[in-house]
Structure 1
Amino acid sequence: MVSFEALYGRRCKSSIRWFDAFEEKLLDAQSRHKEYADRKVRNLEFIVGEQVLLKVLPMKSVMKFGKKGKLSPRFISPFKILNRMEDVAYKLALPPGLSGVHPNLSNEEEPISILDREVRKLRSKEIASVKVQWKNHPVQESTWETESDM
């Protein structure tokens, strides 16, 4: 290393020092990003009786709320808050057209019937599977599950 300093007039930067510098810059960038994000985040609390917009996620090639794809709305009309369920969960007064939306607090899937059976053969074993229709789902959304799980 001494010959390097004599030749170039500065100390040699080893790969270890480069890694330390990189890690230090990464930590600086992370803390800067956290500061920017913390400025934008705010705690929202709503009062029972207030009107709020419901955020919906558009699905590709699915017609929702009269528009398809990119043009489908991100938020739909204001709904009245009936009561507060948890810190960030509220019960809303939804119209009958949105009755298919399931409440997140009680989203337990229950099997209704077994539509089909199938045995898949691997090299050393066989796996028995059943096609299950779930409660509150059409037949097209039935899934294959292992027979031992059912």
Structure 2
Amino acid sequence: MAPYEALYGRKCRNSLCWYQDGEAVLEQTTEKLIMVRDRMQASQSRHNIYVDHMRRPLEFTARDHVFLRLRKHVFDPSHVLESEDVQIREDLIVEVPPISLEDSRVEERRGKLVSLVKVIWDRRIGDSTWELEEDMRKLDPHLFSWRI
């Protein structure tokens, strides 16, 4: 048996040959490799047994304050997420209605003047985007009650 085969339990796929002077050296090497492989397997199995017995399954209940991979956690009420009733369509698109308009401006794009409005989608996380005013007037005209 070749030393590589003794160590890894399969034949070497490399084109290198294992040449040694004499059968005795090859025998000794093979025996030592088998001994090393057996000891490594025994050590790994001891480690796996220890880990498997010492591991506790993680269990959480509602309202647990958990941050994974942090050593210390100072509770902050802003970290608590509130559950929301979210409507998801069949094509997995979530429609989020705009809350309000915050600002407006006129920009020049491709040689044309374009009216933009800043739409607030979620005040808690500060989610807002600049949208075309004409598109927002079509989608939600009630947002423009403050503008004449």
**Common fold by TM > 0.5:** no
Alignment TM-score, normalising by the size of structure 2:
0.31
* Higher alpha-carbon Rg: 2
Higher strand share: 1
Larger fraction in helix: 2
